[in-house]
Amino acid sequence: MAKIWYSITFIAVFLILLGSSASSIQANEVLVEVDTLNVRSGPGLDYNQTGTVHQDDTFSVQETKEDWVKINWNDTTGWIAKQHVQFQEEHVTTCNVDHLRIRSEATTQSAIKGYLMEGDEVELLEQRDNWLHISYEGVNGWIHRDYTALATKPSDNRDTSNSSDTSVNAEQSIATLQYNATNLRAGPSTNHKVIGQRDAGERFDVIEKQNDWYHIQTENGTAYVAGWLVSIKGSSQSETTNQDGLKNKTVMIDPGHGGRDSGTIGINGTYEKTLNLDTALTLMKKLEQSGANVLLTRDDDQYLSLAARSSFANTSKPDAFISLHYNSAPHVQNASGISTFYNGNENEHLANMVHIAMIDATGMTDRGYSASNYHMIREPQVPSLLLELGFLSTSYEEQYVQTSAYQENVTDGIHDGLKAYFTD
C-alpha cells in the first residue's frame, strides 16, 4: 500500500513539474526584421556569438528575458536581441493581390497548384526565406511573402539609440535624396514593398547601412532607401554620391509595336503596344532618377518599322538597348513567365544580369535567357536585349502584369540588372 502511495505521489509531483515547465514555453514565433542578427549563448552582448540568423527567418520562442528572446535554432537554442524581431502570434495572413499563384515548392520554377484572390485568408504552416508554406481550402503549397499582409505590416517605431547586435555605425550620418519621387521601402531590396516616396533634397538620419541600402529614420517610423539614390554626410566623412552604375550611361528603351501594329492582343482585350509603352515610361523615370540618360524609340502610339528602330539605335550609340514586349501563346494552357533574348556571346552577360534581377524582383516563372536572331537584338550594334515580360494570352497573367505592383517590380528588376551590369 505504501509503495502505491509513493508511486502516486511521485507521478503527481512529476506531472505538476511537467505542467509548470510547459506553461513557461510560449507558443508564439518571432520574425527577424534585420538583414543579419547575431545568435548568442545567453541573454546579453557579453555572451559568446554562436551564429547568425537573417531577415524574414522565423523561429519558435522558448522564453523571453528583458531585451532578449530565446529561440529554437539549428537543433539547439540561442538568444537574439528582442528589438530586432517581430512576434508572430497569429498563424494566418491575407493575400494582397488577385491571382497569386500557389506553388508546389518554394521556387518560381515549381508547379502551380492553385491561385489566391485579394482578401483570401490562409493558414501559415512555415516560412522559408521570402516564401510562405500555407494551407487554403484543402490545398497546401507555397506563396511569395511580398504579396501578402506580412509584407506590409508596419514596423514598430523603436528607439535604436541603445546598443544593439546589428552593425550600426556609431557616428550619426545624414542621407540626402538626389532625385524626385525616390521610393522608400519596407526592407533593403527592391523585393520589398514601397511604403512612400520623397523628393530630392529631403534629409534623413541613417540608422545603419545594409549592403547597398540605408536604413533611415522618418517622421513616421523607419524605411530603407537605395544607396545609389542618396548622398551621405557624416561627422568624419565628406559628402559622397554614387558615381558608378547607371550614372551618365545612355539607355535606349524600345516599346515594341505601336500605331497600326498593335502587337499581340490579350485574351481580355489588352493591346501589347499600350502596355509596352506604359512599362517603358515607368522604366525611363527610374533610370533617370539613377542618373542615366534615357532615349525612347517612341513616346506615344506611333508606328515605327523595325529598321527605323535599329537605325535610331546605331545612330545614337547608347550603352544599352532594351526592347520591351509581352508574350502570347494561345494554344498553350496557362503559359506564364518572363523570357530574355540576346544575340551574340558579348551580350550574354547583360542578359544574365537583367534576367536574374527581373525574376528576383517579380517572382514570375523563370523561362530563362537565350540567344536568338530577332531583328531588334541582331541589328543594333550596341549591347541589346529583347524582354518578354509576361503572357497576355493567359487571363490571370494578363490582369496581373497590368497592376501597378507588377509594373513597379518588373521595372525595378530591369533597373537593378542594368545597374549591376554597368557596375560589374
Residues tagged active-site: 388
Distance CA 72, CA 223 (A): 29
Distance CA 185, CA 414 (A): 18
Sheet harboring 366-371: ordered strands across?
293-296, 250-255, 320-327, 384-391, 338-342, 366-371
Q: Extract the C-alpha cell encoding 275.
A: 502596355
From the number of C-beta atoms within 10 Å of its C-beta (0-12, 13-18, 19+), residue 290 rates as: buried
- The total number of residues shown for the chain amounts to 424
Q: Which helix (H) or strand (E) holds 168?
A: none
Contact 346, 383 (CB under 8 A): yes
The CA angle 19-20-25, to the nearest 5 degrees, is: 95
Nearest CA among 53, 21, 50 for reference residue 37: 53
Distance CA 400, CA 86 (A): 30
3-state secondary structure of 4: helix
3-state secondary structure of 187: coil
Q: How far is CA 234 from the centre of its chain?
A: 29
The residues facing 87 across adjacent strands are 30
Q: Extract the C-alpha cell encoding 306.
A: 523595325
> Which residues, 6+ apart, have CB-to-CB distance to 99 below 8 Å?
115, 116, 117, 396, 397, 399, 400
